[in-house]
Amino acid sequence: MEYTVQKLAKLAGVSTRTLRYYDEIGILKPARINSSGYRIYGQNEVDRLQQILFYREMNVGLDKIKAILEQPDFDETEALKTHRAQLLDKRKQLDELIRNVEKSIAHSERRITMTDQEKFEGFKQKMIDENEEKYGTEIREKYGDDKINKSNAKLKGMSEAEMERVNRLAETILVELAEAFETGDPAGDKAQEVAAMHKEWLSTYWDTYSKEAHAGLAQMYVDDERFTAYYDKDQPGLAAFLRDAIVIFTSK
């Protein structure tokens, strides 16, 4: 079966503009151009488009998708199994939120009593699941299953007030970090205050605190591009500056 741009766009539920853009950036080239100048797509292109859309559903960027699909050892079946596992995780997250909404409705109608902690269980579980999906492999290898499981349990047990406090603290750290960065001195008072706040923030999640683990996490902020991108999104160099400040803080 072969498809023109119009037919493939209709089949896949995307726009013709999207398919033309995919051609331009080289992530999905047509099988051939016919004598009339139309792009023609075959079965291989249909399967590749399916993979692209699955990855996009997981919020993977087009550059990364292209790199994945062009790997010599790319296995389509294994990729589909991974997509299935990730989609099941998303369904689990949605089911948890739906149960939370249903309980909230029952509480609102005075059919049940719902604690403040229960009101946020779905959101906290979603946060845990997203963190596991993004960073689970790396942090479990670095700190072990027991420490991460205890950290997740501690997060799930937080009250609304505790969650609000830790979120405010995280926002304050980013603001203060940007100001400390302007000094250019990770050993300075401002930067060391940020490192101390970062310790406080970590301690709300970690079952136990150690300087070595704190410094190790700071190094991960630089070694792992996903962490680096989070801190450097507005000011390149923030991740490395925070790492340096924490290394100095934990060496005292």
Q: Is the pLDDT of residue 93 over 90?
A: no
Structural domain range at position 85: 75-114
Instruction: Tell me what pLDDT residue 8 has.
Output: 95
Domain count, the chain: 4
Is residue 2 very low, low, confident or very high in pLDDT (cuts 50, 70, 90)? Answer: very high
Instruction: Tell me what pLDDT residue 242 has.
Output: 97
- Domain-ending residue, one of 61, 88, 114: 114
Q: Are residues 125 and 209 in the same domain?
A: no
Instruction: Tell me what pLDDT residue 91 has.
Output: 82
Q: With the CA atoms of 203, 206, 212 and 216 taken in that order, what torsion angle do they form, in degrees rounded to the nearest 10? A: -110
Q: Are residues 27 and 57 in the same domain?
A: yes
DSSP result, 59-106: T--HHHHHHHHT-TT--HHHHHHHHHHHHHHHHHHHHHHHHHHHHHHH
Please write the tens of the pLDDT for every residue from 193-238.
Answer: 999 999 999 888 887 889 999 999 999 899 988 889 889 988 899 9
Q: Is the pLDDT of residue 115 over 60?
A: no
Pick from 30-44, 96-110, 114-128, 206-220: least confident: 114-128
What length does the chain have?
A: 252
Q: Are residues 80 and 96 in the same domain?
A: yes
Instruction: Tell me what pLDDT residue 38 has.
Output: 94
- Domain-ending residue, one of 15, 38, 70: 70
Q: Evaluate whether 189 touches 177 at the Cβ level (below 8 Å).
A: no
Q: Are residues 176 and 224 in the same domain?
A: yes
Instruction: Tell me what pLDDT residue 192 has.
Output: 97
Q: Are residues 48 and 129 in the same domain?
A: no
Is residue 79 very low, low, confident or very high in pLDDT (cuts 50, 70, 90)? Answer: confident
Q: Are residues 55 and 123 in the same domain?
A: no
Q: Are residues 82 and 26 in the same domain?
A: no
Q: Are residues 127 and 107 in the same domain?
A: no
The residue type found at 115 is T
Please write the tens of the pLDDT for every residue from 168-193.
Answer: 999 999 999 999 999 999 999 999 99
What is the CATH classification number for the domain harbouring 230? 1.10.490.50
Instruction: Tell me what pLDDT residue 135 has.
Output: 61
- How far apart CA 19 and CA 200 sit, in angstroms, is 48
Please write the tens of the pLDDT for every residue from 124-156.
Answer: 566 666 666 666 676 677 667 777 777 667 766
Q: Are residues 100 and 169 in the same domain?
A: no
Instruction: Tell me what pLDDT residue 227 has.
Output: 84
Q: Are residues 109 and 121 in the same domain?
A: no
The mean pLDDT of 165-169, rounded to a whole number, is 87
Q: Are residues 180 and 233 in the same domain?
A: yes
- Domain-ending residue, one of 157, 190, 224: 157
Which position has the higher pLDDT, 112 or 84?
84
Cα 98 versus chain centre, distance: 22
Instruction: Tell me what pLDDT residue 62 has.
Output: 92
Q: What is the pTM of this model?
A: 0.48
Instruction: Tell me what pLDDT residue 23 has.
Output: 96
Average pLDDT of the residues of the chain? 85
